Amino acid sequence: MDDKTLVRILQQEAAAASSYQDSELAKAQEEAMNRYFGRPYGDEAENRSRVVSHDIEDAINWIMPDLMRTFTASEDLVSIKALAPEDDAQYVGAPEGKSKADVIAAYLCHIFFEDNRGAENVHDFMFDGLLQRLGVLSIGWEDPEPGPPILIEGVGEQQLVRYLQDPEYEILGAEQEETQGGLNFVLEVRRTPAMGRAHIEAVPPEEFALHKTAKRIDGAKYHRRRRAKFLAEIIRQFPEKEFELRDRKSKGDDPGYDARLSARYPDDNVTFGTDGESDEGRREVWLHEEYIRLDYDGDGIVELRHIKRVDDIILENIAVQSSEFVCWTPSRVSHKAVGRSVADMLADITKIRTVITRRYLDGLSQTVTPRTYIDTNKVEQDGVDAIADNDIGGVIPTKGNPREAVYETVTPDVSGPALNALEYFDARGSEASGVTKQSQGMDPQAMNKTATGIDLLQAAAKVRIELFARWAGVALEDAFKRILQLVAAHQDKPRQVKLFGQWVDIDPRTWSDEMAVKIDIGSAGVSKQQRIANLGLIAAKQEQVLMTAGPTPMVSLQHLRNTYASMVSDMGFPDPTLYFGDIPQDWQPEPQPDPKMAEVQAKTQLENAKAQHAAQMAEAKIFHDQQKAASDLQIAREKAAAELQLAREKAAEEAQLARERMALELQLAREKQMMEAELAERDSQRRHEAALVSAKAKGLNGSDASLGSNRPGGSLAQ
């Protein structure tokens, strides 16, 4: 088959493939992206509510954490099924108990999550499937290529020797400079990695196309990835095609505008395309990486061929065993590679909720701001403008009775039926997507329900999410199988990688790429708290076995340490060795003594313990008696001292009272004597005054002047 015929077949297959920019799948993907961002439907009316329900976005954002936890939180995500007894044997250089199958599984995870952006690829892979029906991963091998030149300053002589001896570095130029610390160099170097790497990338759905009748990607008649790449990169990879690539003219193979790209960037005005750059260094072309099944060489055998082309220029055409692409769809449809997405499940409900919400808001607006009827014969234009402005406290001029000129209609309140309808379709959306209020921890009535009931509701809600995870796990099994095939075929030298907390030499040249890869999905509905509780139960049983039977093949100290390490990891601590160290390979528990000797030793120890206990009890009794006697003597002394002190205080108080009583009596006697003296003095003075009065009276009368006893005022003697 010549290249012209092959290009014609490829172009026909690409135009007819599912997910081409004019296909129904492409339109569904564009609509799903618009609904995720809540873009308008296009049927919005002027001066009406334009709100859009975000049910699809909410559902996907609630499902994604469960899927991410399922595939990124576990250290035992990947397991390898051994094909031969040596695959279960101890791997040289690995920690104790780690077999060849364990090391292979750990190395595949290292490539996926460490050599590549594993968490980001898992997120995009899951997100594209949930929203756009199809998630795609590309797993290919990248041969070592030289990087751009870099300038390194302050290089000492020892560093210069290391750069000269390192085969990965090529010194392009060097300058010598004198410094206070000695001789330094300024180097221009280029680094070329010693070996290639498996490259993993999540493919945007608009770049991928699949045959419409494909049941699975590995049996599809045709599938491809189309992406824009710099022409300079393609020429560097295929230098023999440089003249054709530079001299080419567009043959109408430019796909043109793809609405899915605009839907992906709703807030930016972006343009897409190639050949628009005048600068040769930034010129881009559409690179088609296609897989097609056909009898290319005419031998009667239909084979899978991997073809790279730009327009009608074939860059590479080789026969391969499998594709580099892995796909998944969240809701499978039997005998169909592309199933249904969460957006498909919620599309109608989202539209209905949007319409009901808009009508509810419109009705609420009319209820709050009712419509007004105006009799234009009684209201002039100024009054009409005032009514339209609806200013607070505004004046509306009318002619005559304003009640007859202006009339407001009252719109019935429809909030009750509208909210009931929204609640109903909210429940329908939960049934469709598997995302419920209970699983979100947002149900306000959850406090009135039993804990068991809430657990059952959450477990039931996670069943569909767990099914999504199971189909994604099947696709990831194919992805890790592809990684195993790549490293077994292309890694031609050992590589040191830190696995299980220590450095291990990895040499895949002896590995078989037929090993079965298994992804341990687990349950997406089990939280970290539940997992920690389960590990606690396992640890309790292991501790019980170790205490009763000691380390056995069923339960060893390493098993218990692994359980503790898993609990530490689930608690969020990245390095379990900080809390539970690794058990050395050569460590052995102390040998157990002979049972009879142990029994004799136990009896002897028991008798010794009894004798020691009796002696201790006797000593304790003597000490207790001594302490009691000393205590009684001390109490007697303290009692006598207290009584003596009380007697002294009582005598002092009585003496003080006697002194105070004598002082008081003396004071009273003195005061009484003073009062009697004062009274006597007063009496003497009265008598003296009376005598003076009497003498005076006698001198006036010449005789003894006296007053009659029968005077009106009474007797003077009285």
- The predicted-structure confidence for 387-432, as pLDDT tens digits, reads as follows 777 766 667 777 777 776 776 666 666 666 656 665 655 665 665 5
Residue 525 has pLDDT above 50, yes or no: no
Contact, 539 vs 564, CB < 8 A?
A: yes
Comparing 222-231, 356-365, 384-393, 623-632, which segment has the lowest mean pLDDT?
384-393
Query: Percent of the chain, pLDDT > 70?
Result: 81
Per-residue pLDDT, 702: 53
Listed in sequence order, the residues at least 6 apart from 690 whose beta carbon sits closer than 8 Å to its beta carbon are: none
pLDDT at site 591:
65
447-491 per-position pLDDT tens digit:
344 445 445 445 555 778 888 888 999 999 999 999 999 999 998
* Residue 123, pLDDT above cutoff 80: yes
pLDDT of residue 416: 66
At 444 the pLDDT is 40
Residue 523's region, left for phi above 0, alpha for psi from -120 to 50, else beta, is: beta
Average pLDDT over residues 521-540: 73
201-210, 229-238, 619-628: range with lowest mean pLDDT: 619-628
pLDDT at 431: 55
Highest mean pLDDT among 316-325, 406-415, 446-455, 587-596: 316-325
Measure the CA–CA gap between 324 and 436, rounded to whole angstroms: 37
- If pLDDT is split at 50, 70 and 90, which confidence band does 578 have? confident
Residue 284 has a pLDDT of: 87
Distance CA 153, CA 133 (A): 51
| Average pLDDT of the chain, as a whole number | 81
Token pair recorded at residue 642 = 């207290």
Is the pLDDT score of 318 beyond 90? yes
Cα separation, 49 vs 424, in Å, equals: 21
Rg, Å, the chain Cα set:
51
The pLDDT of residue 124 is: 95
Comparing CA positions, the residue from 434, 315, 505, 620 lying closest to residue 59 is 434
Would you place residue 305 in the very low, low, confident or very high pLDDT band (cuts 50, 70, 90)? Answer: very high
Cα–Cα distances in angstroms (integers) from residue 232 to residues 238, 285, 317, in the given order: 10, 10, 20
- Residue 429: the pLDDT is 61
Tell me: pLDDT of 440 over 70.
no
Count of CB atoms situated within 10 Å of the CB of 204 = 17
Q: What is the pLDDT averaged over residues 374-380?
A: 75
The pLDDT value recorded for residue 478 is: 92
Contacts of 383 (CB under 8 A, 6+ apart): 374, 396, 397, 398, 405
Residue 590 has pLDDT above 50, yes or no: yes
Span 550-578, mean pLDDT?
A: 81
| pLDDT value of residue 492 | 87
Check residue 710 and give its pLDDT: 55
pLDDT score recorded for residue 524: 42
The helix-helix angle for 528-549 and 557-570 (nearest 10°) equals: 160
pLDDT of 358 above 60: yes
What pLDDT is attached to residue 131?
94
Q: How do residues 76-108 score in pLDDT, each as one tens digit?
A: 788 888 888 888 888 888 887 788 888 999 999
| Angstrom distances, CA of residue 180 to CA of 154, 161, 176, 184, 569 | 12, 21, 14, 10, 50
Q: Are 57 and 38 in contact (CB under 8 A)?
A: yes
Name residue 347's amino acid: A
Q: What is the mean pLDDT of residues 221-241?
A: 91
Query: Which one of 508-517, 572-581, 590-599 scores highest in mean pLDDT?
Result: 508-517
Q: Given pLDDT bands bounded at 50, 70 and 90, which one contains residue 441?
A: very low
Helix axes 342-368, 415-433, angle to 10 degrees: 170
**Would you state the pLDDT for residue 421?**
60
Tokens at 712, concatenated: 């009106």
pLDDT of amino acid 323: 93
pLDDT at 450: 47
* Residue 587: CB atoms within 10 Å: 10
Given a cut of 60, whether residue 321 has pLDDT beyond it is yes
Cα→Cα distances 448→440, 442, 451, 452, 480, Å:
16, 13, 9, 12, 46
Instruction: Retrieve residue 256's tokens.
Output: 């043109």
Contact 399, 326 (CB under 8 A): no
- Residue 353, pLDDT score: 86
Other Cβ atoms closer than 10 A to 337: 24
Residue that has been written with the tokens 């957006």 in this structure: 343
Rounded CA-CA distance 532/447 in Å is 24
pLDDT at site 252:
47
- The count of C-alpha atoms lying within 13 angstroms of the C-alpha of 375, restricted to the half-sphere facing its C-beta, is 13
Run of H or E residues at 210: strand 208-210
Q: Whole-angstrom Cα distance, residue 608 to residue 602? A: 10
Q: What is residue 4's three-state secondary structure? A: helix
Question: Which pLDDT belongs to residue 599?
Answer: 74
Contact 247, 310 (CB under 8 A): no
Residues sharing a CB contact under 8 Å with residue 419, sequence separation 6 or more, in sequence order: 360
Tell me what the mean pLDDT of segment 507-533 comes to: 74
Length of the chain in residues, anyone? 718
| Cβ–Cβ under 8 Å, residues 174 and 185 | yes
Q: How far apart are CA 241 and CA 315, in angstroms?
A: 7
- Minimum mean pLDDT range among 378-392, 480-494, 597-611: 378-392
